[in-house]
Structure 1
Amino acid sequence: NFEDQIKHKLKHEVPFPSWTVFPLGRTFIKLRDGYWTNEVSPIDYMKNIRKPVLFIHSENDSFIPASMTAELYAAKEGPKQLYIAKKGAHAQSYNENPKEYEDQIDQFLKKLV
């Protein structure tokens, strides 16, 4: 969920505990954007997705941990596939693993036909 993502980033980028800045940040987002961060939770909606999903992530992603994608995958019912690329930073799975990436897409699509 969004709050876990924010706390993950704060832990790695802010030199003091997240509890000191997180409440202020949450309030700022509410005032600026009109929602509370705890209202954004993709995993809560996975049960509503009926279409097949190919989850793709990079093992070394420091922006969003690969474990979060694994959790989404576990929560998704029905047709699904998970590909965790060995190399690549955030959103770089294809750039760092083009052949394997394309193979995973082909494999996923062939299962659906």
Structure 2
Amino acid sequence: VEDCGYTNVWDQFSKELKEQFGLPQFPLMYTADWLCRLEYGWGFKEASALKQVARCHLPMFFIHGDKDDYVPTWMVYQLYEAKPQPKELWVVPEADHAHSYLFNTEEYAQKVKAFVDPYIR
């Protein structure tokens, strides 16, 4: 079960940089990416949920609030498209970031159970 996932670190950091500080990607994102490569051997675009779900053949249930402005809802559609079957998507009406369960506890539990049950019995 994947709830509120982002596409990759570059996308998420760039979004936050713009929204919280009004700054463009260049030069800060490029400099931070370069420093990360230098220090750790990987870059922000390599830290990619998109690349990982594309390789995953296990069942995956994607959940995302349609009012999520921290990890934008558009990201779940890219993740879902990248993932091979079996998969399912639930975009939760009126839920913001990480509140799908809080606002829809019974429905959330029912949907997760319905998705997981065939694979664990």
* TM-score (norm. length: structure 2): 0.77
Query: Highest relative contact order (Cα 8 Å, sep 6+), 1 or 2?
Result: 2
Partner of 1:97: 104
Q: Say if 2:90 is the partner of 1:83.
A: yes
Q: What is the aligned-residue RMSD (CA, Å)?
A: 2.1
What is the total number of aligned residue pairs between the two structures?
A: 113
How much does 1:28 deviate? 4.2
AA of the residue aligned to 1:79: P
Segments of 5+ residues of structure 2 without an aligned counterpart are 1-7
Q: Hey, which of these two has a bigger chunk of helix by percent? A: 1
Equivalent position SS for 1:19: coil
Partner of 1:43: 50
* TM-score (norm. length: structure 1): 0.82
Aligned residues of 1:3 and 1:38 also touching (Cα < 8 A): yes
Aligned residues of 1:87 and 1:97 also touching (Cα < 8 A): no
Aligned residues of 1:55 and 1:80 also touching (Cα < 8 A): yes
Q: Are the structure 2 counterparts of residues 47 and 27 from structure 1 closer, same or farther at C-alpha, using a change threshold of 3 Å?
A: closer
